[in-house]
Structure 1
């Protein structure tokens, strides 16, 4: 006899196939096939949430490579499907059924406030379509926070996910090596206005060297935190992974990435020293590590400034005539100058950074409905101003900046209270994330924006476990 479960699954599969056929006839065969593919992914994620989350972590660095393509860019929507399915499975349905398990949810109030303010800013947007895209970037990844927070607690599964993340980092690094040695020059060389030459800037399979660098900073800080809190083979492997990312971080030639990496490592070192001082640790081991590490980093930094282009780029950070700085100053002047006093407080509306940058919206509702990833991405790229906090100020005003500041404060405070790997990593990542926001629209850049919510959920969940010990 055919059991009830099989009949239900067969019925749903038949409905999906029929719906896919209708979509194929109404829109295109490609749209119908993608619909069935996403439906299958949603079903699998619903049945296996941990596997779905791990799969999301594995494919995250690969998706930017497909996003700008004309034919298969729609496949990048699989991340949206996984996030929405995890949110519904782990948070929304249990909440409605009153079976939601307890978790310390440190960001509930800030996230709800952010959602309400984003809705208000959406209603003020000059272009509703562009405002919807911006609201989607703000809201979608916030749902990932709730999904990760309410994952079934399992130390074994977190270790497996960390191992898969490390494996994906290794693959990304190997592809960067391939890019360096075998890719065509146009895929590697970028113009350096400081020295008036073309220089190799690695981006691996990601859309830009800065995105590649941010991903590596995330991995390097995690490796450093694991190396500090573990022993034996685990410490050796984590330290090796963190060290392996450093040459690639350098070869991104991204000042935001460099500064974020240094501040992230520095923040983690300060946390270790502060905790040692507060706990009155007077043994020589911690202080020997701190002294040796600080001296080593100082020597490496001085050598890098003296013998490599790092010194040129560090000095250019304060040079207003440097091309990148000049462009950012022009952005700031054009965006801030026309703002009224009220707009400075509440913002101009989501996406309202186009007119001052002499750009226009070339997107229709059908493009969004059909999942035209390339058109959507090009439209979103038109809103980039290379400074997330400037963009937030223009779109959402001082109120928006305060909401994000509130959120960062909650994450930092909770991470400080967590004495394990997650707390140390969380503080380092938060420092790097905030400083990188001054150089790139970091809330719009995947997978770094998703990484923030994953780290925040891990910190929040670890805080409850740490407090229970």
Structure 2
């Protein structure tokens, strides 16, 4: 290719797009707000870069995911958090939508496609049925549908052992930064911590939240990283390397403990338990009979139950365990009040199809004061506060009220497909595929449990983390097919 043709095809086209983007940003800055103009230019540049570099764009999303909540501290820079939306939409269009239109989309085992399509359709129906304002319904639908696109963006990225390893390293490096921020908060910024009443010592105690604003959200992120490290330890060789991963796993436990979140603690225990069961089943099931395997599982279950009962009766842990179900405990009482207010007014028909997105505000006597003007001028603080008023500390309760039993069944369908994809015969996989599949199974178990305590589908970055892991697990199963063909 001559220099002249290269100049005409590449440089001139790029300059044209730069001029168009600059003019659009200048128009917005002059006639609306300089802040919106600046962010418009930033978002266009980000979309352009991610389109040309989808894999580094995915790394950028991994790095920014736990750090963006810090940017919501002021009205001025809160709009910058929308950069995640730009990356997600660009990845979806670059890796899935545009190849689909051009009929060049590569084959992937997209096991979640059917439930996702039905979930999107049902979400749109519930958005239209929203009784508490269509605008709030649109915001709720955006929280559901936007992050679903991340599944396709991740699944249809190029995948190889080298790329999988790079992604895991980026995730672990980012988690190190988040943990260091947690250490700083605990020792030098205690005033920023969220307080909770300690039933053992009868005092109010600070809870670590690092960059994620709330201890339960930080805890879910920490549990996800802890389960990943456990999966790395399970398939690491030699023994010294495995010991190093186990040491890192033990070092993550104090951060999880200092969240003082029951959802986080239970999620970690359940996730590790499911991972150990799956790991043992894939490695041992073909060497022993099913009857012997059943005896081992029952025996371990009995030992676990006896251990929990003993710890509850004879150690201070008992106060924490009893607080899980004690209705006199403050957070339990609040959840019971939520349940009574939300479920009592529902008719049989509403129990099946829901009351519409955002309708939980009415039963909780909360006000919807968001207007289109707030979104147009980038008033991110008021928008976020209005969305926060829809939180009821139980994702299944919220989904049942807004989307009915139909919505709950759709999410259950997604869980089931996720589990089947991650629990395939891992003997056919390479080391990286085994690590991601084992991590995915444990992550799903912890996620399902934590949803009983927080609105895990509606909070960043827990919602994005689910679809990222789902996409990576689907890619791991795809790598099995490639190995079989070879």
TM-score range, shorter chain: over 0.9
Instruction: Please list every run of 5 or more consecutive structure 1 residues that lacks an aligned counterpart in the other structure.
Output: none
Matching residue within 152, 155, 174 for 1:149 = 155
Local SS of the residue matching 1:320:
coil
Contact residue 196 and residue 207 of structure 2 kept, 8 A: no
| Number of equivalences | 462
- What is the deviation of 1:17? 0.8
In structure 2, relative to structure 1, the CA distance for the partners of 1:37 and 1:110 (3 Å cut) is same
CA-to-partner distance for each residue in 1:219-264, whole Å, 9 max, x for gaps? 0001101110121365344333322211110000000000000000
In structure 2, relative to structure 1, the CA distance for the partners of 1:296 and 1:161 (3 Å cut) is farther
- Is 1:449 the counterpart of 2:463? The answer is yes
Contact residue 194 and residue 322 of structure 1 kept, 8 A: no
Q: Which residue of 2 aligns with 1:205?
A: 211
- Is 1:66 the counterpart of 2:80? The answer is no
TM-score (norm 1): 0.93
Q: Which residue of 2 aligns with 1:49?
A: 54
CA-to-partner distance for each residue in 1:267-299, whole Å, 9 max, x for gaps? 1111122223421169xxx9xxx9xx9999999
Q: Which residue of 1 aligns with 2:136?
A: 130
Q: CA–CA distance in 1 between the matches of 2:288 and 2:168? A: 30
- Aligned ranges 1:43-442 → 2 under 5 Å: 43-126=48-131, 127-184=133-190, 186-188=191-193, 190-192=195-197, 194=199, 196-232=202-238, 235-280=242-287, 310-419=317-426, 420-442=434-456
- What is the deviation of 1:300? 9.7
Q: CA–CA distance in 2 between the matches of 1:342 and 1:72? A: 44
Matching residue within 9, 16, 19 for 2:21 = 16
Greater shift, 19-28 or 387-396, is seen at: 19-28
Q: CA–CA distance in 2 between the matches of 1:168 and 1:130? A: 33
TM-score (norm 2): 0.90
Contact residue 198 and residue 205 of structure 2 kept, 8 A: no
In structure 2, relative to structure 1, the CA distance for the partners of 1:215 and 1:77 (3 Å cut) is same
Q: CA–CA distance in 1 between the matches of 2:130 and 2:455? A: 19
CA-to-partner distance for each residue in 1:193-242, whole Å, 9 max, x for gaps? 74642102100111100001000000000110111012136534433332
In structure 2, relative to structure 1, the CA distance for the partners of 1:373 and 1:341 (3 Å cut) is same
Greater shift, 459-468 or 22-31, is seen at: 459-468
Q: CA–CA distance in 2 between the matches of 1:202 and 1:301? A: 26
Contact residue 91 and residue 100 of structure 1 kept, 8 A: yes
Contact residue 189 and residue 198 of structure 1 kept, 8 A: no
Q: CA–CA distance in 2 between the matches of 1:319 and 1:354? A: 26
RMSD of aligned alpha carbons: 2.5
Q: CA–CA distance in 1 between the matches of 2:278 and 2:228? A: 15
In structure 2, relative to structure 1, the CA distance for the partners of 1:68 and 1:383 (3 Å cut) is farther
Q: Which residue of 1 aligns with 2:41?
A: 36
Instruction: Please list every run of 5 or more consecutive structure 2 residues that lacks an aligned counterpart in the other structure.
Output: 427-433
Q: CA–CA distance in 1 between the matches of 2:245 and 2:83? A: 30
